[in-house]
Amino acid sequence: MKLRKYLYKSNYCSKIIFLLVFSFLFCLFENFFNYDLFTIKITDPVEYHFKILTINSILSGFSLTNLGILISITNEELVKKLAGTDILLKRNILISYSIIFGSISILTSLIFVININIKFPALVKNFLSDYFIILEIVSLYISIFYFLLSLRKMLQLLTYLYKPQKKYIGEKRRHLENQLAKSIESIDEDHD
């Protein structure tokens, strides 16, 4: 239950700081124990990071589309139906996290694609390169995770908004069928 609260809590800064610290500690672990947890065979680094950038751009675009769908809900009846629920708030939080973490991964990918070459000692340069690769991958995974959660919330929202009406049984059903038949008959009589 605490994990669910943490997922929906809108504390962007603490989650970004957690990502940065986690990536740093992960990088320290890999360098200290000389163990690569993410074994990625990269023949062309620029192409690899460009592909990560493309994936993140597409996911962020889908997230923005998801947000656009929400904005397009202007029907007063639908808005009234959502009043008092936390469906929209949770959905917005998930979408924004997907966009934020996707943007972090995009910016990290851009560092490699642009090939920023700052003079550092080899040890520091290798550590920073490892750190940014881990940051890029972890933020990509987090972005995908939040994107999938936002899709789940979108389905819940659509189900809530457009769930079918109650089935009528017995006398109520016969009454509605009779009213429908009478209205169809009156339309037919008008056209004759």
How confident is the model at residue 186, as a pLDDT? 64
CA dist list (Å): 37 to 21, 33, 40, 118? 17, 11, 9, 26
From the centroid of its chain, how far is CA 70? 13
Q: What is the dihedral angle through the alpha carbons of 25, 31, 33, 35, rounded to the nearest 10 degrees?
A: 100
| Confidence at 139, pLDDT banded by 50, 70, 90 | very high
DSSP H or E run through 18: helix 12-32
Predicted confidence (pLDDT) per residue in 16-46, tens digit: 888 888 888 888 888 788 777 666 777 777 7
Query: Which one, of 29, 14, 5, lies nearest residue 86 by Cα?
Result: 5
0.85 surpassed by pTM: no
Burial of 100 (0-12, 13-18, 19+ CB in 10 A): buried
* Each residue's pLDDT tens digit, 43-90: 777 788 888 888 888 888 888 888 787 777 656 666 677 777 777 777
pLDDT at 80: 72
Distances (CA, A) of 85 to 7, 41, 82, 161: 17, 47, 6, 12
